[in-house]
Amino acid sequence: MKYIIIFFLFFYFYSYANEAEQYQLENKQEQITEPVKKQEDLMDINNSFITKYEYGKMLYNNPRGIGCNSCHGNDARGKKMVDFKHQISDKKVFNCTLIVPDIKSIDYETFSTKVNSKKNPNLKFEKEQVCEKLIYYANVMPTYFLVEEEIEAIFYYIQNIKTK
């Protein structure tokens, strides 16, 4: 009987200690979260384990298989991709060059539209602009189906790329 009473008292005090500890933790959590909520109202806090810059860099280098860096370069300044010849008839041969544009100085609206566009809008070309027309309508830029947060992160990274 003595052991039963000791066991009961031990169990009672142990459960009371857990309740008291839980109560203290809840109070501490409330004290901690109140200032954090106020700070969140004042500024946008990113609670992720990587920064927006790091996330943008990761997406820029490989968003869905082919990274932006493959065509636009590591510095986003664009580069010459390829030279090719286009022959219309036996007589006419056009020497064309595909140059990927600089996206470092592009505005966000244009960037966001281009990243998720499936095809280029119709555009009129002069008769002698054969290469420009071929490149434009080839729509070389792949469609990635990125969400707005990913587009913002890539744009942020591009605007803040550190050149070596």
**Predicted TM-score (pTM) of this structure:** 0.62
Cα separations in angstroms, 25 against 17, 32, 34, 94, 148: 12, 10, 14, 75, 37
Closest-CA residue to 84 (of 72, 95, 100): 95
Look at residue 131 in the predicted model and tell me its pLDDT.
76
| Identity of the residue numbered 41 | D
Look at residue 160 in the predicted model and tell me its pLDDT.
92
Look at residue 128 in the predicted model and tell me its pLDDT.
77
Between CA 134 and CA 86 the distance in angstroms is 9
Look at residue 21 in the predicted model and tell me its pLDDT.
62
Question: pLDDT tens, position by position, for the chain (164 residues)?
Answer: 666 766 555 555 555 555 656 666 666 666 665 554 544 444 454 556 889 999 999 998 986 677 888 888 889 888 888 888 888 777 788 888 888 888 998 899 988 888 877 766 777 878 778 878 777 777 778 777 889 999 999 999 999 987 54
Residues 6+ apart with CB under 8 A from 151: 111, 112, 115, 116
Look at residue 158 in the predicted model and tell me its pLDDT.
93
